[in-house]
Amino acid sequence: MKPFEKETTVGEKYRPAMEITDQAEASAYFDRCVEHSMLHGLSRAQAEAQERANLGYYAGYFDHETRLRVEKLFGCQHPVFGKASGGAPSAGEALELGKRRVLKGGPDA
């Protein structure tokens, strides 16, 4: 698997991860994502945390089954909605969670 180009787009980077179903493939892909983030000056620990958050966030644009699979394979969760195993938020819940995050000014809101 060749490394990502430094200027890789979000879609180019995370869309393929949504199709992965094999743990070994997911682990290799995650390492590739981490290495890409390290090209932008992050330490390995920072890059791993960022990639888990990004994968969880990106999976939030897909169906619930995809979120469950991605979270299991990559050890991630959506940074606003939490784990998919807790259920999908309703549209109203998603709006309120987003508002709270913006009003409190950060990912831990």
Q: What is the pLDDT of residues 32-60, one digit of tens each?
A: 999 999 999 999 999 999 999 999 999 99
Q: Determine the Cα–Cα distance for residues 73 and 26; give it in Å rounded to an integer.
A: 6
Its pTM stands at 0.84
Domain ranges within the chain, ordered by starting residue? 10-104
**Taking each helix axis from N to C terminus, what angle separates 23-38 and 44-59, rounded to the nearest 10 degrees?**
120
Give the C-alpha distances (Å, rounded to integers) separating 30 from 5, 11, 45, 57, 100: 15, 15, 13, 15, 30
Model confidence over 69-107: pLDDT tens digits?
Answer: 999 999 999 988 889 988 877 778 777 877 776 777 655
pLDDT of residue 106: 57
Average of per-residue pLDDT across 19-35: 98
